Amino acid sequence: MRIALIGYGSVGQAFARLLERQRRRFPFRITAIQTRQRTAYDPHGLPLEPAWGPPVPVGEFLDRAAPEVVIEITSLNPVDGEPAISHIRAAFARGLPVITANKGPIAHAYSALRAEAAARHILFRFESTVMDGSPVFNLVRNNLPGVTIEGISGVLNSTTKVVLAEMAQGRSLAEGIARAQRMGIAEADPSYDIDGWDSAAKTAALANVLMDANVTPQSVQRTGIGAITPEAVRRAAAEGTVLALVSRVRREADGALTLTTQPERLARHDLLANVDGTSNVLLLHTDLMGTQGIVSVSPGVEQTAYGLFADLVDIAQQL
């Protein structure tokens, strides 16, 4: 199966390494790559370090690449999800299935993209957009038939967890951010993490897909952790609570959704407070199956790459 990648940063390269390791079991090959600054093509399959040429407009790239599936893994734009949304539409316009790990399009334009894909009978998958490839969307689609998701709660951003843990040790916000950057988990612009934009984008994406909302990250009532002091974190701990940046989606009595991302003091025994380090936790509150939890233990880029791979296997089985 011929794959075109749009974006070849940490995730793209981890995905290419995963395909190399799985080559004997799965006949997938990356035959074209486009980044902001360069392109590469080889119908027989590109090496991990291809010979690069200059970039071209995305439509021209796809026409020359002639892939069977497109994987969109460019940088997150939490403000409006572009240009990733346009990349996905360029693939749809050519009848090509799309996989993305970029939450921007799911947080900003999911219902429109879903409708466009359905109208053209095109598969569209996005498992790695939330929880780094842990099964969330595929779990609900494949394993919870007939279930209605009534609410969502989660601690979804690793950087703020690391920063708050550093502050609990008496270090400053800036020192916490520097540690998250050394660990390679902070967004390129760490204010997206600290101000809650990354969590708000994940919250909007979850609500759009799982609760049929039609919201954007701007719909989320958002407070980041920038105003929290090390003293406040230590005081919370001394009082038997844990400060965390928590995302919630609630359906109100009138049917409207309330979406929040804000620091909360959680009881120490609260499940949301009990995943250490960079691990994330997501709880789905359902009508027929109570509350189901997903924990992603120390997630990294390899898990994100696996989420893309899982989507690819799913699509390959259906083509």
Ligand X SMILES: NC(=O)c1ccc[n+]([C@@H]2O[C@H](COP(=O)([O-])OP(=O)(O)OC[C@H]3O[C@@H](n4cnc5c(N)ncnc54)[C@H](OP(=O)(O)O)[C@@H]3O)[C@@H](O)[C@H]2O)c1
Binding residues for ligand X (CB under 6 A):
6-12, 34-37, 73-76, 83, 101-102, 128, 132, 188, 301, 304
Nearest to ligand X of 136, 284 (CB atom):
136
Quote the least distance from Cβ 172 to ligand X, whole Å. Answer: 25
Nearest to ligand X of 8, 309 (CB atom):
8
Phi-psi category of 146—alpha, beta or left, where left has phi over 0 and alpha has psi -120 to 50?
Answer: left
3-state secondary structure of 153: strand
DSSP string, 195-239: TTHHHHHHHHHHHHHHS-----GGGSEE--STT--HHHHHHHHHT
Tokens (6 digits) for 123: 């598969």
Nearest to ligand X of 58, 243 (CB atom):
58
Nearest to ligand X of 201, 259 (CB atom):
201
Quote the least distance from Cβ 166 to ligand X, whole Å. Answer: 20
Nearest to ligand X of 35, 138 (CB atom):
35
Tokens (6 digits) for 288: 């027929």
Give dist(CA 315, CA 91) in Å, integer. 15
Quote the least distance from Cβ 188 to ligand X, whole Å. Answer: 6
Quote the least distance from Cβ 254 to ligand X, whole Å. Answer: 34
Quote the least distance from Cβ 301 to ligand X, whole Å. Answer: 4
Give dist(CA 235, CA 243) in Å, integer. 10
Tell me how many helices (H) and strands (E) the chain has.
11, 12
Nearest to ligand X of 76, 140 (CB atom):
76
Quote the least distance from Cβ 186 to ligand X, whole Å. Answer: 10
Quote the least distance from Cβ 170 to ligand X, whole Å. Answer: 28
* DSSP assignment letter at 33: E
Give dist(CA 14, CA 228) in Å, integer. 35
Nearest to ligand X of 7, 224 (CB atom):
7
Residues 217, 219, 221, 227, CA torsion sign = positive
Measured from each CB, the residue nearest to ligand X is 9
DSSP string, 40-90: EE-TT---SSPPPB----HHHHHHHH--SEEEE-----TTT-TTHHHHHHH
